[in-house]
Homo-oligomer: A and B are copies of this chain.
Amino acid sequence: MLLAVDPRSSVPLYEQIVGQVRAAVAAGVLSPGDPLPSVRQLAADLRINPNTVAAAYRELERAGLTTVQRGQGTYVAALSDARRDDERARVGRVLVARLVDEARRLGLTPDELRAWLDEALAAAALPTSA
């Protein structure tokens, strides 16, 4: 099971799905031509309404990340390298924005966030360049 949703999150279910597919495409977990689960199948797996899955798939299709073969199913679209980099950046920005949003609620300061980020990066030993 590639996808999972948290019904208690304040993030809408369909946005959770969109975000996870976006992330999977950006990370290369999903490649062009790969099929997505059918609307009904995914809805059954996630125990949510098919319309909710359909809303997520519609958004992915409009964003150009998937193509729909009528009567066949939904597939990951071919993306140019530049487009895929855009996706990667987009997903990254969303992750960071989520952090900042939560930090705002907690009253954390930018300096604290930057310091903690440097700490965590050092600990995780991420590659220093793309």
Given contacts A22-B107, A27-B107, A93-B120, is CB(A100)–CB(B114) below 8 Å? no
- For residue A123, give the distance in angstroms from its CB to the closest CB of chain B: 8
Interface centre among A26, A108, A124 (most CB of B within 10 A): A108
A44 interface residue per 8 A CB criterion: no
| Chain B residue with the shortest CB-CB distance to A22 | B107
Specify which of B15, B107, B113 is in contact with A117 (CB 8 Å cutoff).
Answer: B113
* Residue-wise interface mask of A (51-72) relative to B, using a CB-CB cutoff of 8 A (1 in contact, 0 not): 0000000000010000101101
Question: Which 6 pairs, one residue from A and one from B, show the smallest C-beta to C-beta distance?
Answer: A100-B120, A96-B116, A22-B107, A109-B130, A110-B121, A27-B106
